[in-house]
Amino acid sequence: MNYDQARWTEDDDRYEPLLAEKRSTEVAVEDSPLPDDLTRDGLDLPDLAEPELARHYTRLSQMSYGVESGPIPLGSCTMKYNPAFTEDVAALPGAGTHPDRSEGTVQGNLELRYRLQEYLAAIGGMESVTLQPPAGAAGEFTGILVAKAYHEHHGEERSEIIVPESAHGTNFASAALAGYDVVELPNAEDGRVDVEALRAAVGEDTAALMLTNPNTLGLFERDIEEVAEVVHEAGGLLYYDGANLNALLGRARPGDMGFDVMHYNVHKTFATPHGGGGPGAGPVGVVEELAPFLPTPQVRKTDSGYETVEPERTVGKVHGFAGNWLVLIKTYAYIARLGDAGLADASAKAVLNANYLASRIDYEIPFSPFHHEFVASAGRDAADVARRMLDYGVHPPTTKWPEAVDEALMTEPTEAETRDSLDHLARAFDQAAADGDDALEAAPERTAARRIDQASAARNPRLSWQALDE
């Protein structure tokens, strides 16, 4: 579903512009023909037989490393295995209905959307949920827009969002994109929120504090109730970044900790594809006071079925129709399949696996007790260690972040891994740690692509279906 599909050109009364459209203006642009060297009359597509095509893509898949090849322990990314049954559900004929069909003909789809709203609200401890945002970062942006609308409705012009230094980079970007000044909050020595620093930072300009719990060091913010009290006393709102909800799933709820608004990374927590396999989705949940400001539409249950409604003071639309519909179907299927006990079990195994892996590697881990992820110090260049781990047949963890740990290796094994796969990953960690500097500086040596110039690869990409001449 794309941007233009939000339009109904033949019936202006039904046309509801996206927020981006409301803020845009049309400008005249002069014709600017492409240079001759960038134009062509035809495409030089390969003429291949089916077996050649199948072998080509099979070979490419064998050259690549994916979550179906082995663990991808990227910290704070929850790259878990995505069960195939959700793909089957999303491929059912009823899932492919046109989004502009009348509500009376898609009652089943509306019921699924309604149930998913209810599931996510129950999991997060929220009053109401929108399914519209198409990604986690889009959920952050939407949540902050809702908070902004709430403050403006109450006649308050608050200008600042507080973000801890270890927060995800998207938190800073979302706050700035919504028009706020960002106040960076330093960590305490134990890696958690410095409550005294927070008291000094909040004030009448504070619109919200954006927080991840457990934080990006894997540490649970044990002072979260005090943090919520400080923010609320200043008149601000507490925002929950759902990136690490995998650690709390079925066991604790952000709403019960005092959070007012949150986004769910359903493409992380609820096993829908992401990280190149997307698209994702980033539903947003809010407490009762903020529910009137959620994006439109939402689904409501009536005596005769289900219908879409517009919240009383909605911020508008942030994506076409129902959001990324097929991703939401997979999310629903995953939650319904696991149920309460299954979700809590997934959380327990995620925490167990992280602690087991950490106990098996010979690295310093400065901050603990951690939950579903941990941050080890490489003790040398973390990027070199990561490249060397590629030679041992595994995907490396996140490197050099968060900066609270020197040469960080941020690792999240997820609940999907077996003891054998964790042991294999631990051996790769320790083999890389035992290698000399020459081996690390030359790595990777056993992969299809050797060490690349990352800056040139980003700035001057050369993409082709066949080998390029040097």
Residue 100 pLDDT: 85
Residue 217 pLDDT: 94
Residue 13 pLDDT: 58
Taking 50 as the pLDDT cut, the residues of the chain under it are 1-9
Residue 14 pLDDT: 59
For 210-263, what is each residue's pLDDT tens digit?
A: 999 999 999 999 999 999 999 999 999 999 999 999 999 999 999 999 999 999
Residue 374 pLDDT: 97
Residue 277 pLDDT: 55
Q: Spell out the SS3 assignment of the chain.
A: CCHHHHCCCCCHHHCCCEHHHHCCCCCCCCCCCCCHHHCCCCCCCCCCCHHHHHHHHHHHHHHCCCCCCCCCCECCCCCCCCCCHHHHHHCCHHHHCCCCCCHHHCHHHHHHHHHHHHHHHHHHCCCEEECCCCCHHHHHHHHHHHHHHHHHHCCCCCCEEEEECCCCHHHHHHHHHCCCEEEEECECCCCCECHHHHHHHCCCCEEEEEECCCCCCCECCCCHHHHHHHHHHCCCEEEEEHHHHHHCCCCCCHHHHCCCEEECCHHHHCCCCCCCCCCCCCCEEECHHHHHHCCCCEEEECCCCEEEECCCCCCCECCCCCCCHHHHHHHHHHHHHHHHHHHHHHHHHHHHHHHHHHHHCCCECCCCCECCCEEEECCCCHHHHHHHHHHCCCCCCEECCCCCCCCEEEECCCCCCCHHHHHHHHHHHHHHHHCCHHHHHHCCCCCCCCCCCHHHHHHCCCCCCCCCCC
